[in-house]
Structure 1
Amino acid sequence: MSGHNEIVIQLSSKLKEKPNPNNLGFGKVFTDHMFMMDYTEGKGWHDPQIIPYQPISLDPSSVVFHYGQTVFEGLKAYRTKDQKILLFRPEKNFQRLNLSNDRLCIPNIDEGLALEALKKLVWLERDWIPTAEGTSLYIRPFIISTQPYLGVHPSSHYKFMIIMSPVGSYYKEGLAPVNIAVEQEFVRTVVGGTGTAKTGGNYASSLRAQEIAEEKGYSQVLWLDGREKKYIEEVGSMNIFFKINGEVVTPALNGSILEGITRNSILQLLTHWNVPVSERRISMDEVYEAYKKGQLEEAFGTGTAAVISPVGEFLWHGEKLIINNGETGEISTRLYSTLTGIQNGIIEDPFNWVVEVKEN
């Protein structure tokens, strides 16, 4: 690769002290370097570079501040017991980033160049990848619109960046069920909106409901469809699955649900195991009826941060639906162990999902 698409690396003159691996938290500390590339209308994406992690300077009138034209992704890097460095399906993240770009009128990135940049950055920062069980290096690719212009129109300038943060285990005390409130007043998005894109506005619109749920003692919100408030869509930061009478069911992608990469992986795993699984429209009334009949055996969320989040309780119309006695179910445990085992190189990867990062 040459010319304006050659990745230039500028090393930091002062490296940071690594954080305590036993107290990492999530997204609080960032590595020494980051990736950045600019877009200029008429020139395209140009000047890809790895530079010391630093603040960026933007004009106060930049489009991103006023009209929310921005997209992002999230994935992780893992260090195996034999010191290999692995990424989990990173090409899917950049494919989805471009789908989000299309919806937000942002120029597509070169997915091959983005993956090359990511590998170079991860290799450069390999000492930041924690080794304790359940830990990883969280990776956040994102694009912001930077044109200084107060007008409702797609920007003519953008920045594509990748920053990284060592993160601790999502579960400090093992795989633990979460309690979720079913949202009945607010909606997150609707079919035809931006629900299929990973964009900041979707998360901003969820904050009020999330705050109310937390005040009631619930850690997450389960969103229903924006038209009838009847059909289940997803949890704020996760896709959702239900095990009903032996079959695993997840809401079908309908134009307002994010196509989760972990979700896709879970569907493939269940099919590989010959576990009955379907993607279809499912209402909260159907889930409630299954609960009353004793057929709601498990529920769990899926996402990059937690991988699998078993659900111990739903709050629905003021009634508490206790699932599997509030304990982690068999299928949730098996999925978590298998997927994290593949991600960490502990067990065989029959799907060729993991990508090893090497010096190049």
Structure 2
Amino acid sequence: MENTITDSIKITPITTSKLDKVDFDNLSFGKTFTDHMFECDFKDGVWQTPQIKPYGPLTIDPSARVFHYGQAVFEGMKAFKDDKGDVFLFRPKDNFNRINISANRLAIPSFPEQYFMEGLKQLLKIDEKWIKSGAGNSLYIRPFVIATQACVSAAEANEYKFMIICSPAQAYYVGDVSVLIAEKYSRSANGGVGYAKAAGNYAAQFYPTNLAKKEGYQQVIWTDADTHEYMEEAGTMNIFFRINDTLLTAPISDRILDGITRKSLLEIAEKEGIATEVRPIKVNEIVKAAEDGGLKEMFGAGTAAVISPIKAFGYKGNHYEIKRPEKAFASHLKKALMDIQYNLTEDPYGWRVKL
């Protein structure tokens, strides 16, 4: 049975939900998906009628250009439910803007804001029961777009598919992690696609990360491709350093993603009187701070993990432990951010959007 909820989106509801088969106390990140998904195709130069339909496999031609030339970008965002049952998004306009920035870099047509916002709203409404209240619980939202034109000639496609899928989530990382500072491999280069959430960026990280795991580290801190002298990102996250009582992070560039969690943490820190510096950070500066005791904290920041504390790092065969202070910036900032996301406190920044 099909019916129209809005003038622009066609809704095909499921007949039977799989909700009661999900163990929400034992979720593996990104492996369980809600009942419905949003889908919209680009053909003949325009985005077609969007639809929400039961989550399920796609039928796609083996020659689809996404498989051969990597035209694929995505976003990561979350929905939260407070104790009253109200659902909130966090800075969704930023995600919408960023996926179109990413798409533009890969010669993918921009997606209309009306379709994105209304489609997301309707998708969350129809799958609202999948969003659980309580600290740490959320619904991870994955918008993405892929090139679907059936052709293996080396050129941008003229057909695309924009989708949104959702996955109930708990904490992404459990416990502190150890990282290895990259001396050879790079995440991105000047003039490249590092600032875009392009699928290929992440594929290229897996091999050096696996090498780091063999040395006992969970992630890699990426350094600049030119000299490997400057810190850039940590795994799939932006990175922060606390030297004494100053919070440092690298500036965004065409190599570094404009992280929404990153800029939110900077705003919170500045509002609360924490000294911050956004500037190039040399590896040797961090090593020296670790040796003389000035390095108090390191942590990654991103949508999935929010904040992931780093307990140690390796560089040039040496291992450095970080003794986090009792009053850690990471813990304080994470709580401040999550209190806004879960509607536990006022939102002076206007980031929280009620569904």
TM-score (norm 2): 0.95
* Identity rate, percent: 42
Please name the residue that 2:278 is paired with: 279
2-structure distance, mates of 1:297, 1:136: 30
1:258 is displaced (CA, Å) by: 0.6
1:166 aligned counterpart, secondary structure: strand
- Say yes or no: does 1:341 pair with 2:339: yes
Q: Which residue of 1 aligns with 2:261?
A: 262
Which amino acid counterpart does residue 276 of structure 1 have in structure 2?
A: A
Deviation digits for residues 29-51 of structure 1, max 9, x if unmatched? 11110000010133x11110101
| Partner of residue 39 from structure 1, selected from 13, 37, 42 | 42
Give matches, 1:79-94, under 5 Å.
Answer: 79-94=81-96
Distance 2:113 2:19 in 1: 32
Residue type of the partner of 1:345? N
Q: Is the 8 A contact 2:81 2:134 kept in 1?
A: no
Alpha-carbon offset, residue 233 of structure 1: 0.8
* Larger displacement relative to structure 2 (285-294 or 275-284): 285-294
* Structure-2 residue corresponding to 1:13: 15
Alignment correspondent of 1:101: 103
Distance in 1 separating the partners of 2:129 and 2:7:
27
Correspondence 1:228-239 to 2 at 5 A = 228-239=227-238
Alignment of 1:344-355 (within 5 A): 344-355=342-353
Any idea what the Cα deviations from partners look like across 1:108-132, whole Å, max 9, x if unmatched?
0112320111011011100011234
One-letter identity of the residue aligned with 2:259: G
Which residue pairs with 1:210 in the alignment?
209
Separation of aligned partners in 2, 1:329 and 1:213: 30
Partner residue, 2:329: 331
Give 1:119-138 correspondences, 5 Å limit. Answer: 119-138=121-140
User: Secondary structure in 1 aligned to 2:353?
Assistant: strand
| Residue number in structure 1 paired with 2:218 | 219
Which deviates the most, 244-253 or 72-81?
Answer: 244-253
C-alpha displacement of 1:171: 4.8
Aligned to 2:166: 164
How far 1:188 sits from its partner (Å)?
1.6
The 5 A counterparts of 1:181-192 are 181-192=180-191
1:270 match: secondary structure: helix
Letter in 2 for 1:89: R
Find the counterpart in structure 1 of residue 31 from structure 2: 28
The Cα shift of 1:255 comes to: 1.1
Is contact 1:31-1:53 (8 Å) kept? yes
Task: Name the counterpart of 2:69.
Answer: 67
- What SS class does the counterpart of residue 252 from structure 2 fall into? coil
Q: CA RMSD in A?
A: 1.6
Task: Check whether the contact 2:269–2:276 (CA below 8 A) recurs between aligned residues.
Answer: yes
Tell me if the contact between 2:19 and 2:130 (Cα under 8 Å) persists in the aligned partners.
no
CA distance in 1, matches of 2:210, 2:15: 42
1:329 positional shift = 5.5
Q: Which residue of 2 aligns with 1:53?
A: 55
Aligned to 2:146: 144
CA distance in 1, matches of 2:243, 2:101: 32
The one-letter code matched in structure 2 to 1:21 is F
- Check conservation: 1:15, 1:32, Cα contact below 8 A: yes
What is the one-letter code of the residue matched to 1:186? Y
Runs of 4+, deviation exceeding 4 Å: none
Q: CA deviation at 1:162?
A: 0.2
Report the AA paired with residue 194 of structure 1: V
Output the CA distance in 2 between the equivalents of 1:13 and 1:292: 61
List runs of 5+ in structure 1 lacking aligned partners. Answer: none
- Report if the CA contact (8 A) 1:133-1:169 is conserved: no
**Is the contact between residue 77 and residue 88 of structure 1 (CA under 8 Å) also seen in structure 2?**
yes
Q: Structure 2: any 5+ residue segments left out of the alignment?
A: none
Report how far residue 328 of structure 1 moved: 7.2
CA contact (8 A) 1:180 1:222 kept: yes
Are the structure 2 counterparts of residues 5 and 250 from structure 1 closer, same or farther at C-alpha, using a change threshold of 3 Å?
farther
State the shift of 1:245 in Å. Answer: 2.5
Question: For the structure 1 residues 245 and 17, does the alpha-carbon distance in structure 2 shift closer, same or farther, using more than 3 Å as the test?
Answer: closer
Q: C-alpha deviations, 1:235-284, integer Å up to 9, x for none? A: 12100001112211101112100110000101111111121111111110
Equivalent position of 1:301 in the other structure: 300
Partner of 1:319: 318
Taking structure 1 as the reference length, the TM-score comes to 0.94
How many residue pairs match? The answer is: 350
Q: 2:116 aligns with which of 114, 117, 142?
A: 114
* Equivalent position amino acid for 1:314 in 2: F
